[in-house]
Amino acid sequence: MMKGSTTKLRVRYAETDQMGVVYYSNYFVWCEIGRVEFLRQLGFTYKMMEAEDGCMLPVVEASCRYKTSARYDDEVLLETRVTGLRQYVIKFAYRMLRAETGELLAEAETVHVVVDKNMQKRPMPERYAEAIRATMHEVAAEGVTG
């Protein structure tokens, strides 16, 4: 199993402001990309979770600490991992790095509540929780905490 996932993306012109700097809210779009790819690398998708198990993960909290600016046409490495998993809640952590230098651009976190199609809280289906927990155990075994 993996402890997290890394996704490479390139800053598009539409993601920047007049100064060519990535507009702050786009970092949260990148977080979604990271979550989707993290789950895909575990062998399932958001689409599968919704269609097969009626399980959705709305964001209930989001934060981002911006360290330095990403700019148009930069390549960005997006690291995603799960730092918390309880019956009804999952917490993701993200690091965005300039691919060329490894410079830290931003760190973010999102918290999600597990709900059904009627937006009622429900437990995370065990087949997903088991795969996610395995990534957390590997991180804990290496001495990394979140």
Structural domains of the chain ordered from first start: 5-141 (3.10.129.10)
The predicted structure's pLDDT at residue 3? 84
Residue range 78-93, pLDDT digits in tens = 999 999 999 999 999 9
| pLDDT value of residue 117 | 94
Point out the residues that are catalytic: 17
- Which whole number is the average pLDDT over 87-106? 97
* Per-residue confidence band for 116, with pLDDT thresholds at 50, 70 and 90: very high
Query: Is the separation of the CB atoms in 96 and 76 below 8 Å?
Result: yes
In this prediction, what percent of the chain has a pLDDT beyond 90? 90
Residue 69 has pLDDT above 50, yes or no: yes
CB contact set of 111 (below 8 Å; sequence gap of 6+): 59, 60, 61, 62, 84, 89, 90, 91
Rounded mean pLDDT of 26-41?
Answer: 97
